[in-house]
């Protein structure tokens, strides 16, 4: 079984990707310092796959510790690098935290790969690299405009680092992952209060919050609220398996948009949750939020053509699994 190092593998997207890698015949090894998740996701992975998973409790910015991991694990087919802070809002408030961790961790990973002759890396990028695009949907050739947040800037910088490195790389530019595994055994165990839309909706639904604030209703969109491309996390996880398969046989530098290609407004997302789960969500309109992009959704024709990947799960299926996760986590 080909060994793949998964940094941030106990996190939201990472844990789902570990499950899909195992299903595809890979041997994933997790590295995670649990700064924004917990061992419960590792326990959940083990229940889903029916066996123990190897993992290292290590910070990816610690070069000495990462050297030990690479030495211990020996020959590896590649790395999937998830380990990064992910809150747009927090990055605006504390940019240095994001520069140090998100860029610093990739520096350490790339150096460790070179020293150990590991050739392939899948990088967890983001549609935020496009800034506020002039033309929609965005393609992989859309220009990187000025990032709207330090988080987005770190993703731009990291993609630049990959282009300059000797490794083979595939940058997967995610849109907005939502939902959870059908078992509700793994999901987003963010240590902080969630800042993404759907986890906030589910917290309102279960009573952890009184209401959700919709940040702005005077954008240049049909209902005045921001538009995003929401993708089920299981679909997103499967794209990493497809990308690793592709990269092994197609060395070089690659980038792919991973989204549904469908733009959904904040208010429509709330309505979709309400309709799917037969619940009413209390919300109010607040001021626009720094770092938010008005609207973005993917042209995903390249990922379909090159990787043979496309989203299978619907928005409603994602909302069902998100609610199941909230009730059982």
- What lies within 8 Å, CB to CB, of 267 at 6+ separation is 214, 217, 223, 225
Phi, then psi, of 215 in degrees rounded to 5:
-85, 90
Residue 1 burial (10 A CB sphere; 0-12, 13-18, 19+): exposed
Token pair, residue 26, equals 């890979």
The pair phi, psi for residue 27, each rounded to 5°, is -115, 90
Catalytic annotation on 151? Answer: yes
d(CA 198, CA 200): 5
DSSP reduced 3-state for 91: helix
Give the C-alpha separation, 45 to 52, whole Å.
8
Report which DSSP code applies to 105: H
Count CB neighbours of 224 within 10 A. 15
Residue 188 is given by DSSP the state: -
Q: What is the DSSP letter of 223?
A: T
d(CA 286, CA 288): 7
- 60, two tokens: 């990816």
Task: Provide Rg for the chain, Cα atoms.
Answer: 19
Q: Pick from 76, 70, 97, 77: which is nearest to 86 by CA?
A: 97
Phi and psi (nearest 5°) for 6? -115, 100
Three-state SS for 271? helix
Catalytic residue among 26, 151, 219, 230: 151
Tell me the HSE value of 221 on the side-chain side, using a 13 A CA sphere.
22
List residues with catalytic annotation: 151
């Amino acid at each position: 079984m080909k060994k793949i190092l998964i940094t941030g593998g106990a996190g939201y997207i990472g844990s789902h990707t570990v499950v899909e890698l195992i299903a595809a015949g890979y041997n994933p090894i997790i590295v995670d310092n649990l700064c924004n998740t917990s061992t419960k996701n590792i326990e959940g992975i083990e229940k889903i796959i029916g066996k123990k998973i190897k993992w290292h409790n290590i910070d990816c910015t610690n070069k000495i510790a990462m050297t030990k991991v690479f030495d211990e694990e020996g020959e590896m087919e590649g790395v999937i690098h998830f380990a990064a802070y992910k809150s747009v809002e927090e990055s605006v408030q504390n940019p240095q935290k994001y520069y140090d961790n998100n860029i610093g961790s990739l520096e350490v990973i790339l150096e460790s790969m070179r020293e150990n002759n590991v050739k392939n890396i899948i990088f967890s990028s983001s549609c935020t690299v496009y800034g506020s695009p002039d033309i929609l949907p965005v393609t992989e050739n859309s220009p990187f405009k000025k990032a709207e947040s330090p988080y987005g800037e770190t993703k731009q910088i990291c993609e630049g680092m990959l282009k300059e490195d000797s490794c083979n790389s595939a940058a997967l530019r995610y849109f907005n992952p939502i939902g959870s595994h059908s078992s509700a055994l793994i999901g987003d165990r963010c240590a902080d209060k969630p800042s993404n839309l759907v986890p906030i909706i589910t917290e309102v639904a279960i009573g952890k919050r009184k209401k959700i604030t919709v940040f702005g209703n005077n954008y240049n969109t049909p209902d005045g609220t921001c538009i995003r491309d929401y993708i089920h996390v299981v679909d997103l996880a499967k794209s990493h398996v497809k990308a690793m398969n592709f990269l092994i046989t197609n060395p070089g530098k690659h980038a792919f948009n991973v989204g549904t290609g469908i733009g959904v407004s904040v208010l429509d997302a709330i309505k979709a949750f309400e309709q799917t789960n037969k619940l009413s969500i209390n919300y109010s309109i607040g001021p626009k939020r720094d770092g938010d992009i008005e609207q973005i959704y993917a042209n995903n024709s390249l990922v379909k053509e090159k990787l043979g990947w496309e989203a299978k799960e619907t928005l409603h299926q994602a909302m069902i699994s998100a609610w199941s996760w909230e009730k059982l986590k």
